[in-house]
Amino acid sequence: MVRPGASLENREVADHDPYRPPYPAAVFEKLRELAPRHDAMLDIGCGPGKVSRPLTRYFADVVAVDPSQHMIALGQSLPDGRAPNLHWVRGFAEDAPLDGWRFDLTVAAASIHWMEHDRLFPRLLAHAAPGHVFAAVSGDDAFEPPWHDDWQRFLGKWVMEVTGRQLEPRWADAIASDFGGHVDVAGRAFFTAPVSQSVTDFTKCQHSRDTWAYSKLGSRTAAFDSELNDVLAPHAVAGQLNYTVRTLVTWGSIVPR
């Protein structure tokens, strides 16, 4: 059986990750504010360091963990990717070597759903400094764009085509989640920012996501891209799509078991 999320370790997915929109700048300020101190933070399932690289400006040390060598290599090539206080670790969050680190803040950005919570959270707690805060970040796609209705029909068709499942509501699980009872949730906040992106780049962005990875679409890729272009093209102005990214930050303390 293929492990969920395994496609994200492929080179092709890493190559398309730069087409993902950035998180709103206010997300990073919120994460800075949440930490009780700024000695060390941990970014699990970090990908190319979309969260960890900017946070090197706020924390004395940042440890970024991901199983994909391609994602880590990409992150090291991007701004702040070789900051002297950024420590890349290849491995899974549940068992990657963390040595004697104690973290003030742990962040899982668009990754917590891939992890085994019963193994993960006791481990995070073992590496938690006093007052430690866990935060999950989700949402880097188009939020209720002008093409929303056509987009939902497109997603519904292709999710069924690729996965055999119905399209699930975008925010319901994230808004209600307490991470399997492992987190005493203290708060949730949404942050938004405008994005302008070409139709071509928006399509490439989709191939950075697990469901639409080339390894999942296979011979259906051309049909997927063509149909998506038909959905988006009428909404482009001078070749550009304008939409909003809406990102949810959920934070709290890990519950001892």
Q: Could you read off the pLDDT of 84-100 as tens digits, one per residue? A: 999 999 999 999 999 89
Q: Is residue 147 part of a domain?
A: yes
Supply the pLDDT for residue 131: 98
For residue 174, what are the domain limits? 6-254
Q: Is residue 166 part of a domain?
A: yes
149-174 pLDDT, tens digit each = 999 999 999 999 999 999 887 655 66
pLDDT tier at 9, thresholds 50, 70, 90: confident
d(CA 221, CA 213): 9
CA distances to 136, 192, 204 from 133, rounded to whole Å, are 10, 22, 34
Looking up residue 155, the CATH number of its domain turns out to be: 3.40.50.150
What are the φ/ψ torsions at residue 21 (nearest 5 degrees)?
A: -65, 150
218-254 pLDDT, tens digit each = 999 999 999 999 999 999 999 999 999 999 999 999 9
CA 219, 22, 19 angle in degrees (round to 5)? Answer: 25
Q: Is residue 206 part of a domain?
A: yes
What are the φ/ψ torsions at residue 230 (nearest 5 degrees)?
A: -65, -35
Q: Total domain count for the chain?
A: 1
Helix (H, G, I), strand (E, B) or coil at 140: coil
Average pLDDT over residues 87-115: 95
HEC assignment per residue over 56-98? CCCCCEEEEEECCHHHHHHHHHCCCCCCCCEEEEECCCCCCCC
Q: Is residue 1 part of a domain?
A: no
Q: Is residue 126 part of a domain?
A: yes
Q: Is residue 54 part of a domain?
A: yes
Average pLDDT, the chain: 93
Q: Is residue 160 part of a domain?
A: yes
The tokens describing 209, both together, are 């996501």
Statement: residue 3 has pLDDT above 60: no
